[in-house]
Structure 1
C-alpha cells in the first residue's frame, strides 16, 4: 500500500458498529490508545473489516488544532 498522506497509524480493529449508511470503527493503536473512524457502510464491507483485523488509520488534514481549558 502506498499513500501520499504522512500520518498513517497502524492498529487493530477493536470494535465495529454498523449503521444504516455509515459504520463506526474503533482502532486500537496501542494498549489504551484508540482512534475512531466513521466511513460508509459500503466501504467497510468492501474492506472486509472485522474485529481483530490489522488496519491503517490514515489521517489527511491541512490543520491540527489545539485547545486548552
Structure 2
C-alpha cells in the first residue's frame, strides 16, 4: 500500500531543499574565502593609514578669526 503523506509538509520540505541548493550555488558563485576577506581588510586598513598620513592639518587661527560674521 502507498505511503500517505501530507502535501503541505511535502511542499514545504521541497521548497526548503530548493532554497538550500540555491544558497549553496550562491556561496560558490559569490562567496569569498577567509583569506580573501582578510587580505581585503588589510588592504583597506593600509589605504586608511596612508590617507591619514597624507592629511594636511590646518593651523589654528584663534587669534585672528576671519570666519566670524559681523
The interval holding the TM-score normalised by the smaller chain is under 0.3
* Greater relative contact order, per chain length (Cα 8 Å cut-off, separation 6+): 1
TM-score when scaled to structure 1?
Answer: 0.19
TM-score when scaled to structure 2?
Answer: 0.18
Larger Rg: 2
Structure (1/2) with the larger helix percentage: 2
Structure (1/2) with the larger strand percentage: 1
